[in-house]
Amino acid sequence: MSVNTGARLDRLPMSAFHRRIMWLIGIGMFFDGFDIYIASTVLGATLSTGFSTLGENALFVSMTFLGMMIGSFGTGFLGDRYGRRFTYQANLALFGLASLVAAFAPNMGVLIVCRFFMGVGLGAENVVGYSTLAEFAPPQKRGKLQGLMATFVVTGLPVSALLGLLLVPNFGWRIMFVIGGLGALVVWFVRKSLPESPRWLESVGRHAEAEALITKIEAEVTAEKGPLPAPSTAPVAVVSRKLGYLLSSKMLPRMIVGSITLIVINTLLYGFVTWLPTFFVKEGMTIAKSFNFAFIMSLGAPVGAAMGAFLADKVGRKPMIIGASVVAAIFGAIYPFVRDPALLPFVGLLLVIPIYVLVAALFGMYVPELFPTEVRLRASGICNTFGRGATIGTPFLVVALFNAFGVTGVLALMITLLIVQIIAVATIGIESSKQGLEQLTGVASK
């Protein structure tokens, strides 16, 4: 029995159904981003008050990555085995509860342990959220929807920076964990209404459930938009669910480019952006002034992600990834030589914007699109595992580079990685824009 869920979903026009799915996933993803980015303000505050040392801050960030690596890997197998819905609810509850416990940590050691468990949930949410939305979105609008989802996530950066500026000086850093934890648990209740992916239901042989759900979706969209066009009847490639399929000649280049791009973007985010307040404090700024500078630069996060959302379906994934990498490398080379305090946050803003175009393109669009439904979460989870795992040591490398060469040394590492990313995407990456997920299975790397 073939339900033909992919073709039936792909021919649906953009509707209130799609927007509802985006918002239900997006509000959870916002708190995912918020909880990730509070490290920036929290670590600046713990360092300035003597609650932590620079080395403990590096361990805090590394344990975040270790947790996210485990969460990314585990959720891939859980999501492909037990479904998207079960997985995203479980990880949302985990990082929400761990965040609340972190708010009462008596010392930095306990806070680091709590951050590890938060990381497990955060890593899982990032994988399953983007992949689930990709399985619902129409091909012609998938880039825009996925990019807007990334905008929800990265809005957590300026929001966390603003709340840190307003609340941390008066209430201390613990309030940040309270906000993140309570927000995540509220979203857990709201998001219980999110449906399972019909594509996943069909891929595991639950055809009756897939048929019932897709019929219900079609009825809702028809009531809003009128009669639907006939779905495509083109044959769909049979895909193995075995893990070894990811090492096949078709999938291995995609695994390589997916892993490289996520290693690069994770290092950009957590080797530079997250460390901004700490860099500023170490260079002699007050905690308040460092938060001000970091907040101005953080505004580039939603701007960059939104730019990615609106460019993705117009220019294509590969040109956008390569172009944003080039721009980020250029401003990364300029930034260390800016000495005027008035220009420093402005140039930093111009550096942060292309970084977050890449966040939208890589996390939100490109990596989930590379793989078939049968192995999407496992493949995305493994790529994310490499991305998170490679950056476990990044905080210690960043500290060493900063102590030896200042921000110049840190940015030299970032530029080198961007060059590697450009080469990988240009040579073995596929173009995935405006194509159905099932059709992408047959596209060759080039």
Top-confidence residue, 296 or 288: 296
Tens-place pLDDT, residues 124-155: 888 888 999 999 999 999 999 999 999 988 88
Task: Determine the straight-line distance between the first and last CA of the chain, rounded to whole angstroms.
Answer: 34
Indicate whether 287 pLDDT > 60.
no
Percent of the chain with pLDDT over 90: 41
Contact 4, 215 (CB under 8 A): no
pLDDT at 133: 92
Going by pLDDT thresholds of 50, 70 and 90, the confidence category of residue 58 is: confident
Q: How confident is the model at residue 194 (pLDDT cuts 50, 70, 90)?
A: confident
Task: Determine the pLDDT at residue 284.
Answer: 60
What is the model's pLDDT at position 79?
87
Q: How confident is the model at residue 356 (pLDDT cuts 50, 70, 90)?
A: very high
**Mean pLDDT value across residues 245-269:** 92
**pLDDT confidence of residue 429:** 93
Looking at the chain, the whole-number percentage of residues with pLDDT higher than 70 is 93
Contact 129, 22 (CB under 8 A): no
Distance CA 25, CA 304 (A): 20
339 pLDDT more than 80? no
Give the tens place of pLDDT for each residue, 361-391.
999 899 999 999 888 999 999 999 998 888 7
Looking at per-residue pLDDT, the higher value among 112 and 43 belongs to 112
DSSP of 139-152:
GGGHHHHHHHHHHH
Checking if the pLDDT of 70 tops 70, the result is: yes
Domains of the chain: 5-227+243-440 (1.20.1250.20)
The candidate with the shortest Cα–Cα distance to 429, out of 367, 354, 384, 376, is 367
Nearest to 125 by CA among 190, 30, 29: 29
pLDDT higher than 60, residue 279: yes
